[in-house]
Amino acid sequence: MYDPIVRAKEIEGLVVDGNKRRYYRISRGGLWYGGIATADCCGCNLKCVFCWSNYPRDNPDKCGKFYTPEEVFNSLVRCAKKHGYNQLRISGNEVTIAKEHLFELLELVDKTDYLFIIETNGTLIDKEYAKELSKFKNIQVRVSIKGTNPEEFSKLTGAKPEGFNLQLQALQNLVLYDVACWPCIVISFSPKENFIRLKKIISEIDRRLAEEIEIEDIFLLPHVEERLKKANIKPFTYYKTMELAKREECK
């Protein structure tokens, strides 16, 4: 088993060059969140068995290229204008690994009316990180919690069970510094009673968060299905294919 914090440092060394970050795509649109412009980065500090990101996650130093915050921002804005979106995001892997790059990008976003949604597994958002995020006005943070308890987290990610609590601590830290956020829980592998137990824990952090939990089921893409079979893990619920509209790309 690996430590998500240690692995983040290792990945950072592969995907960060000064204020540049490695991406395998910096322009696509889709109907997530009602319409959003997206850039896809390389490298994550978790190895979720159900993750749809394949080669860019497992080979972060061998795909894509490095881009500055300005280059990513300009590409996202062009895409947003083309499709009439008012929201931007970085997806594909873990956005919080490249802290300097992300914060410079958020400074650019803050000079506009666009909303930036930070999609993260939360493991790197300690109190200092949350405090720094609080200075940006045009952000919301979606913390994607893997499983519903430490055992499920470890089974799904291959990481040490203690990593599960880092995600809950991220929510606590974001609430502490009044950063707009909400939890998303991957429940495809979780019995109902485990979800109910986790919801209660989240309500103790903040009742509003418990009321705003986003439920996420996995997409059973071919390479994901193959990974799950090798790991002898069967999801209770899933989507068989992604909706084509959600994969629409900007040209």
Among residues 238, 105, 120, which one has the least CA distance to residue 169?
A: 120
Structure confidence at residue 135 as a pLDDT band (50, 70, 90): very high
All residues at 6 or more sequence positions from 44 whose CB lies less than 8 Å from its CB, including other chains: 11, 51, 53, 57, 60, 93, 94, 97, 121
Reported as type and span, the H/E element at residue 5 is helix 4-15
Supply 44's token pair: 């994550």
**Which residue is associated with the tokens 């204020």?**
19
Q: pLDDT (tens digit, 9 = 90+) per residue, 142-193?
A: 999 999 999 999 999 999 999 999 999 999 999 999 999 999 999 999 999 9
- Model-wide pTM > 0.75: yes
Domains in the chain (CATH in brackets) are: 4-242 (3.20.20.70)
